[in-house]
Amino acid sequence: MSDPRLAQLAHSLPQLRLLTAADDLQHYGRDWTRRWTPAPLAIVLPASREDVQAVVRWANQQQVAIVPSGGRTGLSGGAVAANGELVLSLERMNRVLAFDPVDRSLSVQAGATLHAVHEAAREHGLIYPVDFAARGSCSIGGNIATNAGGIRVIRYGNTREWVAGLSVVTATGELLELNRGLVKNSSGYDFRQLMIGSEGTLGIIVEATLKLTDPPPPAQVMLLALPDMDALMRVFALFRSTLALQAFEFFTNQALQHVLAHGAQRAIDGEHPFYVVTEFDAGDEPARDAALAAFEQALTQGWVSDGVIAQSAAQAAALWRLREDITESLAPRRPYKNDVSVRVSRVPAFLHDMQVLLTREYPDIEVVWFGHIGDGNLHINVLRPDTLDEDAFITQCEHVTRLLAQTLQHHGGSISAEHGIGLVKRAYLQGTRSALEIAMMQGVRRVFDPSGILNPGKLFARD
């Protein structure tokens, strides 16, 4: 251990696992963005909250910045360590701690994967309803720090709705117990909610108490092919008013082509401009009849050109794969990503403006659209052509993102629907938050982290 600061850390906390090998620095220093070159000082993998506290105290003494790190599936650069930071990985703190049948809550360490939380809830006949494709590798701490959304927000809301309590190590190494699982607690500022979505800049989440709920009735999964973009929100309005939706996700034919090339099976013949995967309660005959009636009405109106209803769990999974595999199928191309939202009522007008903007600004560049359109959340993945070098590509995408931020401002939307600001979007924050709000956010940050050692440079530029 050549760095004397690390030698001192290893000496004072001999139980700590500390990694400094080049492979480890690479592995733990980046997230799914792959845009920044990892350059952390070291990686520390504490096993307890006391260890986390001790590491934070050491970091304060040494003035070393800390990057809290979960599964590093983040898409905004929030967990990137490119400036000599200490990566504090919660990976080893992954235990399920307790289930309370009366409170219907599950307490877990922050490094537990979302999948592990799903499994633990299921063992007790309940569900933790936040869900998305990175479930196997993202951590609950990362989900909370980004207020993750996913494919069931339309029914259950974002992560924020499901956190009953948090244990947080502060930037000075103290422990905060926030809300303690209470359902009702009108006793002043709710710091638990402030931590949710704070992207590792206000504290290190070490444990969480999560609310659980009853499983939904048996569901059906339907894939729809749509002739044009206008049909999208018409079908959504029809389905939402006649069915109990659990999910309503859309993607374009371009997205489908990437997923098929990645190994998924085509489920509808021919090529159609837009597709929807929707899941809805279908526990009884009337509910299933209502779904068929809605489909037939959409067909008659010309809003849908084809469709298929899964007849088995395997077929349902195959239909979901067409939507859920998009990110992974595009990953080798290292897309430039936008993750934007507007109020659901503004989606048609917004989509129209987006189509005009993106067609004009990316004339020779492939742009893949998909997302949680029932929540007003659109994902845009821009693919670099071989003819354009990386820097020129990013410059062009950033120019378009500035225009996109203006369009969003016009529609009252957000530059980050669910992935967080991180490094990727901090330059566009002022399109979504007023100058007053940003100044107040920075003030809050100073209260929680007076020395600025927690994830500096994320969310806002470094002080």
Which residues of this protein are in contact with ligand FAD, per CB under 6 A? 31-32, 67-75, 78-79, 90, 110, 132-134, 138-139, 141-143, 145-146, 148-150, 199-200, 204-205, 327-328, 418-419, 422, 455, 458
- State which of residues 272, 321, 337, 384 lies at the interface with ligand 2HG (CB under 6 A): 337
CA-CA-CA-CA torsion sign (36, 40, 43, 46): negative
Tokens 């936040």 belong to 130
> Using the rule CB under 6 A, is 327 a contact of ligand 2HG?
yes
The one of ligand 2HG, ligand FAD, none whose footprint includes residue 381, by CB under 5 to 8 A per kind, is ligand 2HG
Contact 251, 165 (CB under 8 A): no
Shortest Å distance, C-beta 136 to ligand FAD: 9
Distance of CA 19 to the CA centre of its chain: 27
| Residue in the shown chain whose Cβ atom is closest to ligand FAD | 142
The one of ligand 2HG, ligand FAD, none whose footprint includes residue 138, by CB under 5 to 8 A per kind, is ligand FAD
Residue type, 24: D
Shortest Å distance, C-beta 84 to ligand FAD: 16
Shortest Å distance, C-beta 207 to ligand FAD: 9
Q: Show the site string, 117-156: x = touches ligand 2HG by CB under 6 A, - = not.
A: ----------------x-----------------------
The one of ligand 2HG, ligand FAD, none whose footprint includes residue 68, by CB under 5 to 8 A per kind, is ligand FAD
Q: Which residues are bridge partners to 248 per DSSP? A: 278
Shortest Å distance, C-beta 328 to ligand 2HG: 9
Q: Show the site string, 364-393: x = touches ligand 2HG by CB under 6 A, - = not.
A: -------x-------x-x------------
Closer CB to ligand FAD, 161 or 230, in the complex: 161
The one of ligand 2HG, ligand FAD, none whose footprint includes residue 72, by CB under 5 to 8 A per kind, is ligand FAD
Closer CB to ligand FAD, 384 or 458, in the complex: 458
Closer CB to ligand FAD, 72 or 445, in the complex: 72
Shortest Å distance, C-beta 373 to ligand FAD: 13
Closer CB to ligand 2HG, 46 or 70, in the complex: 70
Residue type, 460: F
> Using the rule CB under 6 A, is 305 a contact of ligand 2HG?
no
| Residue in the shown chain whose Cβ atom is closest to ligand 2HG | 327
The one of ligand FAD, ligand 2HG, none whose footprint includes residue 379, by CB under 5 to 8 A per kind, is ligand 2HG
Shortest Å distance, C-beta 86 to ligand FAD: 12
Contact residues for ligand 2HG, defined by CB under 6 A: 75, 133, 326-327, 337, 339, 371, 379, 381
